[in-house]
């Protein structure tokens, strides 16, 4: 009856997942935890449910140089995959997030950048999730019951993450972090990437950190 049936994904939204080898992950995360704790001690009081964040300038600090080299390498792989022509790129913002029990990070995106990424330093059991929200404003106008949720019918995708994992995505893509329901602290480092010819004036983060960070 049908000579051919084909499905094409139109305008796909890519995510890139990069996992460090265990030996590299363990050594790097020990170093990062020590550096983050040094920056955030003593901690300022935060409203209930709000995580601590450092200032978004970790890429300028020597103790985060190794991490930033890895972030740049992962970002280069994403840009090479896309086939984007550019004259170089820079990290325009980089900050640590510390989520104690009961904290969330609501849906948001990262303006004035091309790529964003997050790296997981400490992931207590049950906290390894990041949520991406469908960017198409009218895609959920009709939502019939489905046999199973998948990338074609879901209005959000929940990605599993673990320590030593980079996740990179378009900076315009809204994402959120579910509530930490464990007794431990989830620790991650986020960063933004932009093409060098645009970075001098417009791509710095539009916010300041919420931690008492020594600079």
**What are the structural domain ranges in the chain?**
16-42+52-135+151-197
pLDDT at 215: 37
pTM for this predicted structure: 0.90
pLDDT at 17: 98
pLDDT at 143: 84
HSE on the CB side for 64, CA within 13 Å?
A: 26
pLDDT at 201: 66
pLDDT at 74: 98
pLDDT at 59: 97
Beta strands in the chain (DSSP E): 16-19, 52-53, 89-99, 105-108, 115-122, 129-133, 156-160, 165-170, 175-177, 186-195
- Show Cβ contacts of residue 42 under 8 Å, excluding neighbours closer than 6 positions: 212
CA distance 95 to 121: 12
Residue found under tokens 């930490």? 180
CA distance 58 to 31: 14
Give the architecture-level CATH label for domain 16-42+52-135+151-197.
Answer: Sandwich (2.60)
Per-residue pLDDT of the chain (215 residues; tens, 9 = 90+): 999 999 999 999 999 999 999 999 999 999 999 999 999 999 888 888 889 999 999 999 999 999 999 999 999 999 999 999 999 999 999 999 999 999 999 999 999 999 999 999 999 999 999 999 999 888 888 888 888 888 888 888 999 999 999 999 999 999 999 999 999 999 999 999 999 988 876 677 776 766 544 43
The length of the chain, given as a count of residues = 215
pLDDT at 212: 46
pLDDT at 35: 98
pLDDT at 213: 46
Alpha carbon separation from 196 to 5, 77, 81 (Å, rounded): 44, 17, 19
Distance of CA 91 to the CA centre of its chain: 13
CA distance 56 to 61: 11
CA distance 196 to 147: 46
pLDDT at 214: 42
Which one, of 133, 182, 192, 135, lies nearest residue 159 by Cα? 133
């Amino acid at each position: 009856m049908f000579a051919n049936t084909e499905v094409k994904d139109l305008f796909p939204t890519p995510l890139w997942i990069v996992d460090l080898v265990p030996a590299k992950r363990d050594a790097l995360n020990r170093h990062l935890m020590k550096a983050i704790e040094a920056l955030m001690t003593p901690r300022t009081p935060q409203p209930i449910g709000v995580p601590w964040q450092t200032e978004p300038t970790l890429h300028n600090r020597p103790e985060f140089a190794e991490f930033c080299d890895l972030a740049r390498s992962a970002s280069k792989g994403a840009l090479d995959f896309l086939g984007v022509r550019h004259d170089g790129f820079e990290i325009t913002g980089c900050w640590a997030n510390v989520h104690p029990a009961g904290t969330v990070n609501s849906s948001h995106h990262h303006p004035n950048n091309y790529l964003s990424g997050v790296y997981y330093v400490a992931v207590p059991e049950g906290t390894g999730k990041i949520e991406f929200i469908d960017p198409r404003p009218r895609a959920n106008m009709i939502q019939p019951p489905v046999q199973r949720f998948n990338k074609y019918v879901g209005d959000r995708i929940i990605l599993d993450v673990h320590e030593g994992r980079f996740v990179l995505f378009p900076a315009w893509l809204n994402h959120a972090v579910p509530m930490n329901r464990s007794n431990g602290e989830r620790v991650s480092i986020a960063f933004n990437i932009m093409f060098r010819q645009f970075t001098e004036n417009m791509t710095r983060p539009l916010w300041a950190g919420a931690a008492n960070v020594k600079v």
